[in-house]
Amino acid sequence: MGQLRELIDKLHQNRELTLSEYAELIKYRNAEDAEYLRSLAQDEAKQTFGNQIYVRGLIEFSNYCRNDCYYCGIRRSNGAAERYRLSEEDILDCCRTGYGFGFRTFVLQSGEDMGYSDEDICRILRRIRDEFPDCAITLSVGEKSRETYEKFYQAGAERYLLRHETASEDHYRILHPKELSLNNRKRCLTDLKDIGFQVGAGFMVGSPGQTEEHLAADFQYLRELEPHMIGIGPFIHHKDTPFRVEPDGTLELTLYCLSILRLMFPKVLLPATTALGTIHPLGRELGVQAGANVIMPSLSPKSVRGKYLLYDGKICTGEEAAECHACLENRMKRIGYQIVTDRGDYPGWTRE
Ligand code: SAH
């Protein structure tokens, strides 16, 4: 397949392909060329980040959600989900624990929980900012107005994760109920970038109805948006959702997409996600070897870990934060990488 290798070289050189070329790159992939792509991507990550892996402490502070995305285990229609909300003090305790491990970034993630007002979130942000002035705070609480995002930024958040999920209207409609819109999702991402956040977009690999063309459109959209972070992971079914019988995304295609993204965006912050670690015991290690440079262990208290279940089989739900941290540190060491105590901003980013 000389042709595929040419496409990979072209991607490496130009940092982008045409829509139909991305689709071909996926459609005609094979083990040998995938290994070529992987090794270019790993080299690329090493040139920017060396053997250093940034770590983000993930605090899943509420699993209440007003939305009903068909793929997600904490969708509002899932009556079997046991709902919880962490108190402010609990959240701060998670940060204290993480700080002790050397974490300098905290990610506050939740469903779209209307139980917190903008003021509540801002107060939490300010408290974290006051107690940990040397740490970055990332929010991931879904779609909000521009005004709300501005308040969050003023209160001290400087990164925001909001996966676009899919850049294609037809595919978006397969994954979401009609009250949600791709346009609004994209509007949010544009606003966030405009305000000055380091922004993370991304998508699930192998979500129901996804074609090579949809993935191609995702790559093209990301090229337009130019996010600072890109979160991708395999779709994994959840037993209490409409997608309970849908096949899961694969390790192989997720790794392939990670490597494509690394060649497109040499400096982007690219996590090896928990979902990747869930579909394969060495998923996160393989993710790093495919070009990822970030890991996001959970800091959530043990009592709620088993409740933030977006998909079945999630790993590390029975562990204490300290165990997860030690385990990941070892896992990275074993493949020749090192977890670092660093905010891990996008290279060159500063707060305006
Ligand atoms: N409410 C926040 C956080 C969503 S959860 C927001 O809207 O951004 C974080 C991510 O988990 C989602 O963006 C989605 O891409 C992913 N996710 C949800 N359900 C999943 C599933 N069944 N399999 C794999 N990933 C899933």
Does the pLDDT at position 1 exceed 60?
no
> Which atom of ligand 1 is nearest to 202's Cα?
15
Does the pLDDT at position 24 exceed 90?
yes
- Contact present, 35 and 29 (Cβ < 8 Å): no
pLDDT of residue 352: 78
Nearest Cα neighbor of 194 from 166, 229, 153, 165 is 153
Which backbone phi and psi does 212 adopt, to 5 degrees?
-60, -35
User: Is any atom of ligand 1 closer than 6 Å to the C-beta of 165?
Assistant: yes
User: Is any atom of ligand 1 closer than 6 Å to the C-beta of 296?
Assistant: no
User: Is any atom of ligand 1 closer than 6 Å to the C-beta of 275?
Assistant: yes
| Residues 263-319: tens digit of each pLDDT | 999 999 999 999 999 999 999 999 999 999 999 999 999 999 999 999 999 999 999
Measure the CA–CA gap between 344 and 53, rounded to whole angstroms: 9
* Nearest residue (CA) to ligand 1, atom 6: 142
Mutate to test the pocket of ligand 1, among 71, 108, 188, 192 (most ligand atoms within 8 A of CB): 71
298 alpha carbon – ligand 1 mean position (Å): 15
For residue 36, give the 3-state DSSP assignment: helix
> Which atom of ligand 1 is nearest to 243's Cα?
22
Does the pLDDT at position 255 exceed 90?
yes
| Residues 170-199: tens digit of each pLDDT | 999 999 999 999 999 999 999 999 999 999
pLDDT band at 155 (very low <50, low <70, confident <90, very high): very high
Measure the CA–CA gap between 58 and 268, rounded to whole angstroms: 19
Measure the CA–CA gap between 250 and 271, rounded to whole angstroms: 17
Measure the CA–CA gap between 83 and 297, rounded to whole angstroms: 21
Measure the CA–CA gap between 45 and 336, rounded to whole angstroms: 14
pLDDT of residue 200: 98
Q: Please give the radius of gyration of the chain, using alpha carbons only, rounded to the nearest integer.
A: 19
* Strand ranges of the sheet holding 52-55, from the earlier edge strand across to the other edge: 294-295, 52-55, 338-340
Does the pLDDT at position 2 exceed 80?
no
H or E element: which one contains 299?
none
Interstrand relation of 57-62 and 229-234 (parallel, antiparallel or unpaired): unpaired
User: Is any atom of ligand 1 closer than 6 Å to the C-beta of 166?
Assistant: no
Helix, strand, coil share of the chain (percent; to 5): 45, 15, 40
User: Is any atom of ligand 1 closer than 6 Å to the C-beta of 160?
Assistant: no
Query: Two tokens at 108?
Result: 């506050």
User: Is any atom of ligand 1 closer than 6 Å to the C-beta of 276?
Assistant: no
Mutate to test the pocket of ligand 1, among 163, 207, 232, 257 (most ligand atoms within 8 A of CB): 163
Interstrand relation of 294-295 and 338-340 (parallel, antiparallel or unpaired): unpaired
User: Is any atom of ligand 1 closer than 6 Å to the C-beta of 139?
Assistant: no
* Nearest residue (CA) to ligand 1, atom 7: 142
Write the CB contacts of 181 (distance below 8 Å, at least 6 apart in sequence). 172
Mutate to test the pocket of ligand 1, among 310, 314, 315 (most ligand atoms within 8 A of CB): 310
pLDDT of residue 194: 98
Does the pLDDT at position 166 exceed 80?
yes
- Look up the pTM and report it: 0.98
**What is each CA distance from 195 to 53, 152, 205, 222, in whole angstroms?**
27, 10, 29, 18
Longest CA pairwise span in the chain (Å) = 58
33 alpha carbon – ligand 1 mean position (Å): 30
Write the CB contacts of 241 (distance below 8 Å, at least 6 apart in sequence). 70, 71, 72, 73, 75, 78
- Contact present, 106 and 131 (Cβ < 8 Å): no
> Which atom of ligand 1 is nearest to 143's Cα?
7
Q: Using CB atoms within 10 Å of the CB of residue 303, give its burial: 0 to 12 exposed, 13 to 18 middle, 19+ buried.
A: exposed
Mutate to test the pocket of ligand 1, among 204, 254, 312 (most ligand atoms within 8 A of CB): 204
Share of the chain above pLDDT 90, in %: 98
pLDDT of residue 119: 98
Interstrand relation of 229-234 and 198-205 (parallel, antiparallel or unpaired): parallel
b/e burial code for range 88-125 (CB count within 10 A of at least 16 → b): eebbbebbebbbebebbbbbbbbbbbeebeeeebbebb
155 alpha carbon – ligand 1 mean position (Å): 25
User: Is any atom of ligand 1 closer than 6 Å to the C-beta of 176?
Assistant: no
Does the pLDDT at position 331 exceed 70?
yes
Token pair 């939740």 in the structure block, residue: 110
If you ran DSSP here, which 8-state letter would residue 176 be given? Answer: S
271 alpha carbon – ligand 1 mean position (Å): 14
